[in-house]
Amino acid sequence: MNQPIAHPNRSAGLVELRIPSKAEWVAVARLAVAAVANRLNFSIEDIEDVKLAVAEACTNCIQHAHGSDQIEITCETDSDALTIRVRDYGQGTRPEAIQSRRVDEPRVGGLGVFLIRSLMDAVEYDVHPERGTNLVMTKKVTA
Amino acid sequence: MNQPIAHPNRSAGLVELRIPSKAEWVAVARLAVAAVANRLNFSIEDIEDVKLAVAEACTNCIQHAHGSDQIEITCETDSDALTIRVRDYGQGTRPEAIQSRRVDEPRVGGLGVFLIRSLMDAVEYDVHPERGTNLVMTKKVTA
Amino acid sequence: MDIKVNVREAQGDTYVVDLNGEIDVYTSPKVKDAIGDLIDKGHYNLVINLEKVRYIDSTGLGVLIGGLKRVREHGGTVNLVCTNPQIKKIFDITGLVKIFGIYDDEDAAMKALV
Amino acid sequence: MDIKVNVREAQGDTYVVDLNGEIDVYTSPKVKDAIGDLIDKGHYNLVINLEKVRYIDSTGLGVLIGGLKRVREHGGTVNLVCTNPQIKKIFDITGLVKIFGIYDDEDAAMKALV
Ligand SMILES: Nc1ncnc2c1ncn2[C@@H]1O[C@H](COP(=O)(O)OP(=O)(O)O)[C@@H](O)[C@H]1O
Ligand SMILES: Nc1ncnc2c1ncn2[C@@H]1O[C@H](COP(=O)(O)OP(=O)(O)O)[C@@H](O)[C@H]1O
């Protein structure tokens, strides 16, 4: 908690956001990232995909990363891709937990990671039971 | 530059944002802050006021704070007020420079600080020629 | 960034839930409560109108799935009205199109119910 | 978060500049260029239609003021069409209402020009 945001590869197009790990602030992350995506040449549909992926990631931090009071979202923009990192400093999880499934019976839950993987072009989870979860996901601009 | 965001009074409702000090990212600050304001009971008009004040502050960082590559925006929310800090780490200015004027002849420029002071309920500039500029402004929720 | 929920009685013993806004982790409890109330009162045939929903996430989907599960236990069903292509896409990629009846207008959703 | 600029020739030697979107530090250079082009070509009586502008900041105001200054040197003028209450308020508190002719529709802005 409360660590300064690390900047290994600070670039000109880096936007960093921190929100409290509470449901009411997810909309802020969603809209800020949509505004970032708007600066690239994304279609409206792609921007909606990115919004949803970020929201799912934040929702998971809030619901599963116990002990983390903040969520850190960084956006790195290129002319041809948007890379978004969502991380918490809470109680993490085991890699096996990060599974995604399609629905074939009405069961509540378990759709977040599936949606993230479906909507983004590259998704990498760095999970650790103690250190919290670090998700890096990329959406490519398709011209 | 590149200082970690300082958290003297971290509170539950604190949202922090960093954008590159470039014109194209001001819209991200504007929309993120609007999303934060939306979480309080602000009227649409008040949210527009807050958006414009933040944009004017960011525009000034971009146009006047030479040597600062980032702008830091923090929003602290209360049930009855939104306090926004906008700071840069660039070349600052002298207090006398922070003046506001009304227009009585068509002259370009010099409206930003005036608008900030007009639209927000409390505005405090901490200016320094070397350390950069720190603006703290508050908008009260009027029920 | 909020949700408006409106519940209307329709023909037969069916109820329509109109949703207007965004359904996410913050707003979905309100939707869940509205649907839960109806089910608690013994109404098991529902149309949920998503025409004015601009955004839904997995929490919102979870509320809809949860509602469907509960009414099915009583032989009821939940039909959805949805026209937004982005939201349709979400039902599509999650496979929920195969679980929910999804219709382009309320009339069709209603007819399929009774 | 972008601006669309459209220039139309109107009656007499007047031109209308239609703006659609948000005018801020990022988008205002595009507006400045469009107005500057017209003035460079000797058109000094302009109507700038802000009806579809959702947002303007001091950079945008500066572009309008700069245009007005330039056309006035040639005996011309700039009239604005503006209906958005928030934008009207900005012209009001900055005192720009006293410098620009601001009208509720293009017809009125046009008539006041010629
Ligand atoms: N930030 C996180 N911290 C801890 N665990 C996480 C995090 N993100 C995902 N997980 C794990 O991945 C699982 C699958 O997540 P998801 O697909 O969104 O479904 P759900 O949240 O409904 O369980 C979660 O149940 C949780 O165990
Ligand atoms: N972040 C900042 N860094 C340095 N100088 C600033 C900053 N913000 C405001 N100023 C000073 O305040 C002056 C007034 O700003 P403003 O009212 O926005 O008008 P303008 O930007 O058009 O000059 C600027 O010209 C500048 O000297």
Reported ipTM: 0.91
Query: Which of the residue ranges A73-77, B84-88, B100-104, D63-67 would you say has the lowest mean pLDDT?
Result: B100-104
Q: In percent, how much of chain D has pLDDT > 70?
A: 99
- The hierarchical CATH code for the domain A17-140 is 3.30.565.10
Q: Are C19 and C80 within 8 A, CB to CB?
A: no
Partner A contacted by B137 (CB < 8 A): no
Which pLDDT tens digit goes with each residue over A102-117?
A: 555 556 668 999 999 9
**Nearest C-alpha in C relative to B39:** C1
Residues 6+ apart with CB under 8 A from B102: B114, D94, D95
Q: Give the other-Cβ count within 10 Å of A78's Cβ.
A: 13
For chain C, the first-to-last Cα distance in angstroms comes to: 34
CA distance C71 to C67: 6
- The hierarchical CATH code for the domain C3-113 is 3.30.750.24
Task: Please give the helix or strand (H or E) that residue D37 lies within, else none.
Answer: helix D28-40
What does the angle CA C37 – CA C89 – CA C53 come to, to the nearest 5 degrees?
40
CB contact under 8 A, B26 and D24: yes
| The pair of three-digit structure tokens given for residue A40, joined into one six-digit string | 């690239």
Q: Give the other-Cβ count within 10 Å of C54's Cβ.
A: 14
Q: Which of D58, D59, D63, D64 to mutate to test the pocket of ligand 2 (most atoms within 8 A of CB)?
A: D58
Domain-by-domain residue ranges, chain B? 17-140
**Residue in the block written with tokens 């005018």:** D23
Partner B contacted by C1 (CB < 8 A): yes
CA distance A99 to A85: 19
Asked whether the predicted pLDDT for residue A40 surpasses 70, the reply is yes
CB contact under 8 A, C86 and A115: no
Domain-by-domain residue ranges, chain D? 3-113
Asked whether the predicted pLDDT for residue C94 surpasses 90, the reply is yes
Listed in sequence order, the DSSP H helices in chain C are 28-40, 58-72, 85-93, 106-111
Closest approach of chain C CAs to the CA of A47, in angstroms?
A: 10
CB contact under 8 A, B109 and D62: yes
Q: In percent, how much of chain A has pLDDT > 90?
A: 68
Pocket of ligand 2 (CB under 6 A): B 60-61, 63-65, 88, 92-93, 97-98, 100, 109-114, 133
Residue B68 Rama label (left phi>0; alpha psi -120 to 50; beta): beta
CB contact under 8 A, B111 and D99: no
The mean pLDDT of chain A is 87
Q: What is the pTM of this model?
A: 0.91
| pLDDT for the residue numbered C12 | 83
| pLDDT for the residue numbered A117 | 95
| pLDDT for the residue numbered A9 | 38
Nearest to B39 among A15, A18, A24 (CB): A24
The model's confidence at residue A6, banded by pLDDT at 50, 70 and 90, is: very low
How far does residue A56's CA lie from ligand 1's centre (Å)? 9
In the predicted model, what is the mean pLDDT of residues D76-83? 97
Better-predicted residue by pLDDT, B6 or C50? C50
Asked whether the predicted pLDDT for residue B131 surpasses 90, the reply is no
Identify the contact set of chain B against chain D, taking CB-CB distances under 8 A.
23-24, 26-27, 30-31, 45, 48, 51-52, 55-56, 58-59, 62-63, 102-109, 111-112, 114-115, 118-119
The model's confidence at residue B102, banded by pLDDT at 50, 70 and 90, is: low
Which pLDDT tens digit goes with each residue over A70-92?
A: 999 999 999 899 999 999 998 88
Question: What is the three-class DSSP state of B105?
Answer: coil
Cα separations in angstroms, B106 against B98, B103, C8, D63? 20, 7, 57, 11
Which pLDDT tens digit goes with each residue over C72-92?
A: 999 999 999 999 999 999 999
